[in-house]
Amino acid sequence: MLITEPILLLDKEKCLRNIKFMAEKAVRHNLIFRPHLKTPQSAEIAKWYKEFGVTKITVSSLKMAEYFASDGWTINWEDITIAFPVNILQTDRINKLASKINLNILIACEDVMETLNKEITSKVNFFIKIDTGYHRSGIELKNIEEIESILKKADKSKLIFKGFLAHSGHSYNAKSLEEIQAIHNYSLDVMRELKSTYLDDYPDLITTIGDTPSCSLMENFEGIDEIRPGNFIFYDLAQWKIGSCSLDKIAVAMSCPVISKNKERQEILVHGGGIHFAKDVSSLEDGTPYYGLVVNLSDKFNTGWEIPESKSYVRSLCQEHGVIKASDELYSKVKIGDRIGILPIHSCMTADCMKKYYTLAEEEINMLKY
């Protein structure tokens, strides 16, 4: 295979191990496992989850729900949750999709109810978005009267209440396991409280949480019925930094052609920039910002990559350029025209930029195109 441009490598075995780990954890804790497919965004990869018993999925947009529900794909999901608060401009498309599949939408505030009651004509399930401290969207427990009001208004509509959905996205910024634990515990407290308040009136309601750090690291899910992690299938350096995974679990790596070398600065220029990696940044132990970590690509394509002893990292990204601060070992070994493997900071964003994967078996895997 002659590839002359930056590509995104995908180690299927690692993905399968990551899915297996999470699927088994869900079984162990008696949880519904509804993976978030905003990470791989691929109907092909979606099939891999099925092997581990997954029948329900999460997506982050109506477009993505339409893609995974499309007749063109051989996958028929039991139901799909759009874990992004409903966009009231899209009620027509929601009706259309909900007439074909079991669709769950997300309601994050009471103000959308009037439009939904008027315009939703298909049977649609909904979750109420609960803000457990991330403060991006949703209703805090202290504003329980807004929840009451949503439920009351939904009573006269086609909308069927399915439960409470939270995403403690602030766990991605946690500095320690204790901090993740504290975030997770608060989330459990809130969801238990809501469940005990509403279970009598809605005996089928479920509670669902989603962040990869909590789902990866925690072992107490009391009061939770469902988990929706997404990133865990690939993991990445951001997850590694907060302890959600080891480096050898990261299942995607950019492969970038070496363009030039600078001896004085011991730097390597690769083709691979912000339009390939996305611009997510993390920091090394000493606080230096960085955009990716170099791995050793095997000579044989199908054997993947290995973590080197001495660290080399991407120090800057422009539109098409990546500049690598190279270890002595990397600098002396690499030649112009070689390819360098680089683990991404945020795999969801990198995958979204690249729009295509190459497995180690040299198969191309396509993603949703926008």
Which spans of this chain sit near a second copy (rule: CB under 8 A)? 2, 4-5, 38, 60-61, 63, 84-90, 93, 108-109, 111-112, 115, 135-137, 169, 257, 259-262, 265, 267, 269, 271, 274-275, 278-280, 316, 318-321, 323, 336-337, 348-349, 352-353, 355, 370
3-state secondary structure of 337: coil
Minimum distance of a second copy from residue 275's CB (angstroms): 5
Determine the Cα–Cα distance for residues 283 and 64; give it in Å rounded to an integer. Answer: 32
Minimum distance of a second copy from residue 138's CB (angstroms): 8
- Whether residue 232 contacts residue 215, with contact meaning beta carbons closer than 8 Å, is answered with yes
Minimum distance of a second copy from residue 203's CB (angstroms): 28
Helix H or strand E encompassing 162: strand 159-166
Helical ranges in the chain per DSSP H: 12-28, 43-50, 62-69, 91-98, 113-119, 144-154, 177-198, 212-217, 237-241, 274-277, 328-333, 347-354
Place of tokens 């095997």: 298
Name the residue nearer to a second copy (CB basis): 12 or 261.
261
Q: What is the DSSP string of 36-47?
A: BTTTT--HHHHH
Minimum distance of a second copy from residue 86's CB (angstroms): 8
Minimum distance of a second copy from residue 12's CB (angstroms): 23
Name the residue nearer to a second copy (CB basis): 59 or 295.
59
Determine the Cα–Cα distance for residues 106 and 85; give it in Å rounded to an integer. Answer: 5
Minimum distance of a second copy from residue 271's CB (angstroms): 6
Tokens of 150: 């949503």
Name the residue nearer to a second copy (CB basis): 109 or 365.
109
- Whether residue 321 contacts residue 258, with contact meaning beta carbons closer than 8 Å, is answered with no
Name the residue nearer to a second copy (CB basis): 138 or 163.
138
Name the residue nearer to a second copy (CB basis): 5 or 362.
5
Name the residue nearer to a second copy (CB basis): 29 or 279.
279
- Whether residue 42 contacts residue 64, with contact meaning beta carbons closer than 8 Å, is answered with no
